[in-house]
Structure 1
Amino acid sequence: MNVAASVEATNTPALIGSCPSCGSAALTGIYAQDDIPVSSCLLFDNAQAALQVDRGDIRLSHCEDCGFIFNAAIRQGASEYSERYEETQGFSPTFSSFHTALAKELIERHELRGREVLEIGCGKGEFLLLLSQLGENRCTGIDPSAHPHRIAGIEGAERVKLVPEFFAPELAQKQFDAIICKMTLEHIVPTLDFLRVVRAGIVEGSRPLVFFQIPNALRILSDAAYEDIYYEHCSYFTAGSLVRLFENAGFAPLRVLHQYDDQYLTIEATVGNAPPLDIADDRAEVARLAGSLAKRVAAKQADWAARIDAAVKTGRKVALWGSGSKAVSFLAALPDPAKIEAVFDINPNRQGHSMPGTGHHIVGPKDLTSICPDLVIVMNAVYRDEIARELIDAGIEAEIVAL
């Protein structure tokens, strides 16, 4: 795979030439990566099909005016979001605990009991199910990868309607008390246009809670977390650029939080008058970190490649834990992905399928004893403890390291 440390190619005429969040043309190329899978969460039946996944390029541009970062080389519609798209983290006890606590907090803070809730980009509907179970809310979820049958028969599902389609304004033609959009805005290129559509759909005179959750780009920049840079994620926000976008779109931001070990950025907003949100201007810090991103990523990728190479040379089996987007990005950056012996995942819907781009077969914890890895690289450090317990339960004495 070609992972470029320089960004000389960012002047290609096909690139997006103005910021999708503020319209500025003051853009600087900060990172480039070529020939990567455009769909990192698709399920493939075999390695041959997985190797034939459509590919694209990343050319991250930084807007000097608003601080927004985006993939200027994105091809609209290239990524596939369908019933084959398997993104859920709901099989993790760690994530499920976080999700439940988040739902409880929103219900209590905003008195969401017996209310009408809309979620744009609802995934498999797990969060809406929690809002129904814990607050008896009536919920509508819109997502092309939704599987309504997955929640059928579960307590609270009778109040949840999942629509397996892309969001369109006509699907939200009613008054909602809360509009939720979790881990979706980062998949959207025309960010300002999208938020203006959401704003225009709010019934005049109502003041719904508007809750968005996205990856925290400042952490990605600070840690040179290249595993969190992949094709579907075309938009990267810090707290400052997120607040500026919401204000430009006609919303009144109420608060911004860093959650889930600083990995997630959440914003609560409404419409109408509200006191200005006092938030630090992070544009100078973003510009500084963005300017050195490519160099720091290249060094980090070289370190991981050397570590894996050293392990394999001493006869140790190396495995990844987590087969989602982070793993696809991590594998795409390795000079020889075949040195990874196995990829584990606790999601049974992913097991038995193959990884986009490299064709690695995805296995589950039940396969630990037959593979017996010596080095397990955890794709998300927040899950390290629960993965360590899985290894202990299987009697595996492996070294565990996290990205």
Structure 2
Amino acid sequence: MSQAGFVEATCPVCAHTVAAPFFDGGAQPLATLGWPASATEAQGMARHPHDFVQCPRCTHVWNHSFRYDAVPYRDAPNRMFNNGTIWKGHLAESCELLVRRMPANPVLVEIGCGEGHFLRALAGACGGEGRILGFDPSTHPETGQGFEFHARLFDPLADTPRFAPDAVVIRHVLEHLTDPAALLEKLAWGASQVDKPVWLFAESPCIDRVFATDRLADFFYEHVSHFTTDSFRTLMERSGDVFELAHGYDGEVVYALVRLGVPAAAQARAAEAQAFRRRSDASRREIARQLDALAASGELTAIWGGTGKGAAFMHQFGVDAARFPLVVDSDPGKVGTHVPGAGQQIQFRDVLKTRPVKVLIIPTQWRAADIVREMRAAGIAAERILIEHEGRLIDFERDPHPYR
């Protein structure tokens, strides 16, 4: 902690990097996923730090010292038992909120479905039609009854386009995640690959009442995140258009209905990145082909620059020491060292006066004009000077390019 009383910590909701100390509950055992079999085992349980901080930007509260591997999620079921009339009414209202947005025979996915009581309620609200899928790494006897169960984590980037759901449900899961924003953003990108609307129904405990009552029983180790209304809204807005955000069960839970999606500008940038990837693959093949032809021609070739971008050029295009042994530089500090990875010894540029080359390759296009002037001033010449441009090696002095 700094002298000012703040904590260097990245908010799992909005990525703000400074937090304020919020609640120090000391070291406590697991509260809901320990499942001790005896009093002795219960009293001897490992203790974990309750070191809660709050984000001053989005108001989110989380355990700054939480370690995910301290919680046996795969070994013990995370049961949330509430058989009360008010709770049952809330579940029915949640089902209705989602189902009224669904087409006939919908595909519904729940991430972290537990024993599946909500999925079974959804299936009933849909009249038993459609495809109902649940994902959870832990299982118990009721899991999978009445729906299609997958005993694993849901992969949002791969599974969303694979199963093409009409809706994804995440109830009482986000508070267990160290990086809930990553899950929702990946869901949004996965949904962008589906040719229909994909809805998200998310729900989590809400701690708004904590601030008015100072109650502390809300805070236990398995819940790394504690959402306020503001921080929950901030998180939902990272996944798409929020159509509804409200509270249930007397304000103790906050839920949202979101149409998953990615802003058009972000999708355009992603498409541009993918297009660059395709062009770069083609460029590597083409320039490697040109270098193969150059090596096969027997023309003496030198490369100007053996570190940084010069070395990167040689790595990208397979410029090995056997075929291209001559590497020069005008920086005396680099002379006598060797090209990282490739191994050529870097020589001073003046070696080209006594050992003239037919072809000189300058990997740093943006410095090529200065290097050519330096060559002329030093009395160094080459029949062709090549630079990389638009996926090919081109002639610096004859071909069109922006580096003159």
TM-score per shorter chain, which class?
Answer: 0.5 to 0.7
Is the contact between residue 143 and residue 165 of structure 1 (CA under 8 Å) also seen in structure 2?
yes
Give the counterpart letter for 2:119 in structure 1.
Answer: L
Residue 101 (structure 1) aligned with residue 93 (structure 2): yes
Corresponding residue number in structure 2 for 1:229: 219
Of structures 1 and 2, the one with the larger relative CO (CA 8 A, separation 6+) is 1
User: For 2:240, which of 242, 251, 258 is the aligned residue?
Assistant: 251
Corresponding residue number in structure 2 for 1:167: 154
Corresponding residue number in structure 2 for 1:35: 27
Is the contact between residue 42 and residue 86 of structure 1 (CA under 8 Å) also seen in structure 2?
no
Question: In structure 2, how many angstroms separate the alpha carbons of the residues matched to 1:212 and 1:253?
Answer: 11
**1:66-88 superposed Cα distances (whole Å, 9 cap, x missing partner):** 22211111112211113532513
Q: 1:94 to 1:146 in 2, by over 3 A?
A: farther
Q: Cα distance, 1:151 vs. partner?
A: 5.7
Q: 1:35 to 1:140 in 2, by over 3 A?
A: same
Residue ranges of structure 2 left out of the alignment (5+ in a row) = 264-404
Q: 1:143 to 1:65 in 2, by over 3 A?
A: same
Identity %: 21
Corresponding residue number in structure 2 for 1:332: none
**1:80-137 superposed Cα distances (whole Å, 9 cap, x missing partner):** 11353251325445433432332234223x1354200011111110000111122024
Q: 1:26 to 1:102 in 2, by over 3 A?
A: same
Is the contact between residue 8 and residue 17 of structure 2 (CA under 8 Å) also seen in structure 1?
no
**1:144-163 superposed Cα distances (whole Å, 9 cap, x missing partner):** 2333x4166x6xx1xx1122
Question: In structure 2, how many angstroms separate the alpha carbons of the residues matched to 1:232 and 1:199?
Answer: 26
**1:170-212 superposed Cα distances (whole Å, 9 cap, x missing partner):** 4443200001100110111112222222222223433211110
Greater CA deviation, 179-188 or 221-230?
221-230
Question: In structure 2, how many angstroms separate the alpha carbons of the residues matched to 1:39 and 1:217?
Answer: 18
Q: Cα distance, 1:8 vs. partner?
A: 9.4
Q: 1:9 to 1:117 in 2, by over 3 A?
A: farther
Corresponding residue number in structure 2 for 1:111: 102
Higher Cα radius of gyration: 2
Is the contact between residue 33 and residue 71 of structure 2 (CA under 8 Å) also seen in structure 1?
no
Q: 1:64 to 1:139 in 2, by over 3 A?
A: same
Give the counterpart letter for 1:127 in structure 2.
Answer: F
Question: In structure 1, how many angstroms separate the alpha carbons of the residues matched to 2:28 and 2:87?
Answer: 27
Give the counterpart letter for 1:107 in structure 2.
Answer: V
Structure 1: 4+ residue segments shifted above 6 A: 7-12
Corresponding residue number in structure 2 for 1:143: 136
Q: 1:58 to 1:101 in 2, by over 3 A?
A: same
Q: Cα distance, 1:166 vs. partner?
A: 3.0
Q: 1:78 to 1:176 in 2, by over 3 A?
A: same
Residue 132 (structure 1) aligned with residue 132 (structure 2): no
Residue ranges of structure 1 left out of the alignment (5+ in a row) = 1-6, 275-403
How many residues are treated as equivalent by the alignment?
258
> Counterpart of 1:128 in 2: which secondary structure?
helix
Q: Cα distance, 1:215 vs. partner?
A: 0.8
Q: 1:9 to 1:133 in 2, by over 3 A?
A: farther
Q: Cα distance, 1:268 vs. partner?
A: 1.0
Residue 190 (structure 1) aligned with residue 179 (structure 2): yes
User: For 2:113, which of 122, 127, 139 is the aligned residue?
Assistant: 122
Is the contact between residue 26 and residue 65 of structure 1 (CA under 8 Å) also seen in structure 2?
no
Give the counterpart letter for 2:164 in structure 1.
Answer: Q
Greater CA deviation, 221-230 or 78-87?
78-87
Corresponding residue number in structure 2 for 1:345: none
Q: 1:237 to 1:84 in 2, by over 3 A?
A: closer
TM-score where L is the length of structure 2? 0.58
Is the contact between residue 23 and residue 50 of structure 2 (CA under 8 Å) also seen in structure 1?
yes
User: For 1:261, which of 243, 250, 271 is the aligned residue?
Assistant: 250
1:4-403 pair list within 5 angstroms: 17-108=9-100, 110-111=101-102, 113-135=104-126, 136=128, 137-147=130-140, 149-150=141-142, 157=146, 160-169=147-156, 170-172=158-160, 173-202=162-191, 203-247=193-237, 249-272=238-261
Is the contact between residue 172 and residue 203 of structure 2 (CA under 8 Å) also seen in structure 1?
yes
**1:303-348 superposed Cα distances (whole Å, 9 cap, x missing partner):** xxxxxxxxxxxxxxxxxxxxxxxxxxxxxxxxxxxxxxxxxxxxxx
